[in-house]
Structure 1
Amino acid sequence: MFFQRSNASKDSVKRFLMQVLAQDCNTVPQAFSTDALIVCEAGLTPGRRRFPFRDPYFLMVTCGTGTVVSTVAPRIAVVRRMLEGLHRDEIFSGKGMHLLSELVGLDGQFLAGPDLKFSCSQQDFTPCKPPRGLRMEVLQNSAIHQLYQTDGFRHALRYSEHSSRPDTIAVAGYLDNDLIGVAGACADTDDLWQIGVDVLPGIQAKGVGKALVSELTQKVLKVGKIPYYSTSIANLHSRNLAHALGYFSVWTEIYAVAEKKLEPVTRLGRY
């Protein structure tokens, strides 16, 4: 599954993302354009995003119409019975979350999200000017590893030289030669790269994060890849940043993780 750079419009990006989501959920792209509840059996499908397959698996996605749930076989009938008759908005609100939390809690899991997922196309991208005094440096592949020596940018960097989702491009921001922020892209699939950003406390809300994401988005699009990032529904600053750069909403997801390992979900661009 490859993305055709020559068709880098919003519609073509969305079509491509539906294919990726179909691989994530082990279903077909058409499942995300219906207004029905679809529950399917999860599987390690080629082309899925390279996140760990957390067993027992649970991923729930909506692209604004119906709801697609991907989970392990023993849960399928239970999920259908729990959610039958509920509207998408009910499923993704407190009522649905309560029911599903009880289900995954039986296996020592909890629900993360809802996360809003955004993407951008070449035609929609709106770059911004960096704030005065900000110097940006672009690093690629193994050159990014030098940034691992400085902790505090774990929303933007994988901090691993052997990750299944390797860091591919990073933009480091400097003020008076001090590293104050990093935006990084990791390869969730060969053609879908996730963007994350970190800015030091006290520097936030000054346009630094927006400038770093703008520069990184431009680089990702230039090499023919699709950028995307996620934010929690409560992170209004992140959503506003996305829209200002031409990002558009594509899907919302909820997923189950183990109680013993809580991974941040409110950051920009990373699980």
Structure 2
Amino acid sequence: MTQQEILDAAMRQSAVDCSCSAEDFRRETNVVVESRPSADASRYLTNPNICALFTYGSNVVASCRGDLIPEVEAFVNGMPKHHRCFEPQGIYELNRILQKADARVTWMHSFYLPDLQAVFSAEVFCPYETRELHPEDFTDLYLPEWSNALCSSRKELDMLGIGAYDGGKLIGLAGCSADCAEMWQIGIDVLPEYRQKGIASTLTNQLARAIFEHGKIPFYAAAWSNVRSVKNGLKSGFRPAWAAMQAEKINK
């Protein structure tokens, strides 16, 4: 697998999520399309989209309800730079548009893809024993302290994990979810008293390598303000690839 193949796979999935073409993310002009339901959409998204904005760096692809298209199109094309759509002023304006849909922006993340050279040469070290875990090992681990690594509402998607142990005590856990056909998303948790010891980056990196061994592509997500998580992704061998923002109903 090459670096270009990894990026192409991510764009293919984003195209499914947005009801557009993968080539739309490479355009220099913004693209606004009507969102359509898809059984193959990423599991962490609400599908179809009321409104979702994606960028891989050259433009914005907006996927939204048909009745919102004129205003969303005016919004994204009215910004002086496409990335301004994701900044506070842009979010305030988008929320005004979304009022008619009884919706508002609920989350925004940066998404990271593995840099092959960085993942397989990362200098990470964990002073504790690590073990590979499988779905049968997760049964008793759906607890608040492991809520980033595992998802209790989508247990069937939790595929693989790497745990760190101090004696017999689980102190850190990286888990991955089969959120997409070709890609598994990594989440990481470390008990507070064991942080800043290299555990998170070691587990994240080991899990990324294991995911490749299973024939899938690892990916990682972090809120832009979660500096600790961003640093972990970078140290583990991941690099920024795209950003996404989604709106959901206010009163579900």
TM-score (norm 1): 0.84
Call closer, same or farther: CA 1:172–1:105 in 2, change over 3 Å: farther
Call closer, same or farther: CA 1:161–1:60 in 2, change over 3 Å: closer
2:14 to 13, 21, 36: 21
Unpaired stretches in structure 2, ≥5 consecutive residues: none
Shift of 1:254: 0.7
Query: Aligned residue for 1:142?
Result: 136
Distance between the aligned counterparts of 1:240 and 1:103, measured in 2?
34
Matched, 1:110 2:101: no
Query: Aligned residue for 1:131?
Result: 126
Shift of 1:162: 5.2
Contact 1:47 1:189 in 2 (8 A): yes
Contact 1:40 1:71 in 2 (8 A): yes
Query: Aligned residue for 2:151?
Result: 158
SS at match of 2:63: strand
Query: Aligned residue for 2:211?
Result: 220
Aligned-CA RMSD value? 2.1
Contact 1:41 1:76 in 2 (8 A): yes
Query: Aligned residue for 1:3?
Result: none
Query: Aligned residue for 1:93?
Result: 87
Query: Aligned residue for 1:269?
Result: none
Shift of 1:123: 4.0
* Number of residue-to-residue matches in the alignment: 250
Distance between the aligned counterparts of 1:136 and 1:79, measured in 2?
48
Contact 1:120 1:228 in 2 (8 A): yes
Unpaired stretches in structure 1, ≥5 consecutive residues: 1-7, 262-271
Q: For 1:1-271, list aligned pairs within 5 A.
A: 8-51=1-44, 53=46, 57-86=50-79, 87-125=81-119, 126-132=121-127, 134-148=128-142, 150-160=143-153, 163=156, 166-259=157-250
Distance between the aligned counterparts of 1:15 and 1:56, measured in 2?
22
Q: Which protein has the bigger helix share? A: 2
Distance between the aligned counterparts of 2:208 and 2:48, measured in 1?
33
Q: What's the % identity of the aligned pairs?
A: 23
Query: Aligned residue for 1:264?
Result: none
Once the two structures are overlaid, the 10-residue window that deviates more, 235-244 or 188-197, is 235-244
Call closer, same or farther: CA 1:224–1:161 in 2, change over 3 Å: same
TM-score (norm 2): 0.90
Distance between the aligned counterparts of 1:176 and 1:192, measured in 2?
33
Shift of 1:160: 4.7
SS at match of 2:204: helix
Shift of 1:96: 1.3
AA partner of residue 231 (structure 1): A
Contact 1:214 1:245 in 2 (8 A): yes
Shift of 1:137: 1.7
Call closer, same or farther: CA 1:76–1:115 in 2, change over 3 Å: same
